Amino acid sequence: MANAPAAAAVVEALAADVREQSRMEFRHSMIEMVTPVCASLDEAGAHLLRHRRAVADAARTVGVCLVAVGATPVAEPEMTVTGNPRYKAIAEHYGRIVDDPAVCGCHVHVGVPDRELAVQVGNHLRPWLPVLQALTVNSPVHAGTDTGHASWRAMQLDRWPGLGPSPWLASADDLDRTVAVAVASGIMLDESLVLWHARPSAVYPTVEVRVADVCPTAADALLLTGLVRALVATAIDDIAAGRFAPPITDHAVRAAHWNAAHQGLTDTLLDVRQERARPAWDLVADLAGTIGPALDRSGDRPVVEAGLARLRAEGTGTDRQRRVLADVGDVASMLAAASRWTVDG
């Protein structure tokens, strides 16, 4: 079994309106799907499910399957990058670091009025991003075997120097200085490669959260979207009230992210506010309590609470993959199951 370098053919097979929202990514086996700007979770969910089902149908017409997993569990026969000049420049600059197989994430943008506020929002998000990561792990298998990590995607991306935990930043000017140092050192090829777990978008008036593996179902992606939107709204409330982001060391944040990528929700997570390990679902409960007023204000509480209850009952994408592997014992069956989950509502 292997990843199929068929993304170009699949994109070509899409209806024009879906093709406008779909594009080639870094590897020839990857497709990125993008929703338009949405005002509600219902609207976002409808776009997510429609895009996934349309791309899955197009994939079948060219003899392949669409599977939403964070890192490929099988071989990647075509390791060249796609034709985007930016991707070619990245490959030339970073050399053998780019040789890992495909990885796929889920990125959520939330509108923020100005760049200065977006930087402050990022500081407030830092304690909660490892919890979001643990909720969305979906890549335990690599080269046909269980890696022992809940998110192998995160482990692969740790080799990239410009990725990883978001730093604490004093201001937009501080962001610019930090990025300039990274570009001068070569850690970042240019200013566009600010690929932290959360960042002010360089293109849109948004904060972009990019810590999650691609979600196994559209419902899981919608849960992530609701959590991120409520976290951003809560951060804006805290900033308006003069409540500062808690002081958290970079070492603790990095340790918490590794813990989340390794464990998912199966054991403990590092609570960076207290610098101690706690049961994972206790931290999820803290997160839900923190964003409760924002969920009520947006009307998103029913969707988020139902999503968390479903996740607790069914497990993360990693948990689901491991159950199939334990029951059936082969990666092909696991991928067949994941392909069905990909188009679930």
One DSSP character per residue, 24-73 reads E-SBTT-EEE-----SSHHHHHHHHHHHHHHHHHHHHHTT------SB-S
The 8-class DSSP code of residue 276 comes to: E
Type of residue numbered 237: D
Domain residue spans of the chain: 7-342
Q: What is the pLDDT of residue 222?
A: 98
| CATH ID of 7-342, from 3.40.50.620, 3.30.590.20, 3.40.50.720, 3.20.20.20 | 3.30.590.20
| pTM for this model (two decimals) | 0.97
What are the residues whose beta carbons fall under 8 Å from the beta carbon of 101, sequence distance 6 or more?
Answer: 3, 27, 71, 72, 75, 76, 79, 142, 156
Q: What is the pLDDT of residue 104?
A: 98
What is the distance between the alpha carbons of residues 24 and 281, in angstroms, rounded to a whole number? 36
Q: What is the pLDDT of residue 202?
A: 87
Q: For 74, how many CA atoms within 13 A lie in the half-sphere containing its CB?
A: 16
Per-residue 3-state assignment (H helix, E strand, C coil) for 77-94: CCCCECCCHHHHHHHHHH
Q: pLDDT (tens digit, 0 to 9) for every residue of the chain, 345 residues total?
A: 899 999 999 999 999 999 999 999 999 999 999 999 999 999 999 999 999 999 999 999 999 999 999 999 999 999 999 999 999 999 999 999 999 999 999 999 999 999 999 999 999 999 999 999 999 999 999 999 999 999 999 999 999 998 999 999 999 999 999 999 999 999 999 998 999 999 999 899 999 999 999 999 999 999 999 999 999 999 999 999 999 999 899 999 999 999 999 999 999 999 999 999 999 999 999 999 999 999 999 999 999 999 999 999 999 999 999 999 999 989 999 999 999 999 997
Q: What is the pLDDT of residue 329?
A: 86
Q: What is the pLDDT of residue 105?
A: 98
Q: What is the pLDDT of residue 345?
A: 76
What is the distance between the alpha carbons of residues 229 and 342, in angstroms, rounded to a whole number? 23
Residues paired with residue 105 on neighbouring β-strands, in sequence order: 213
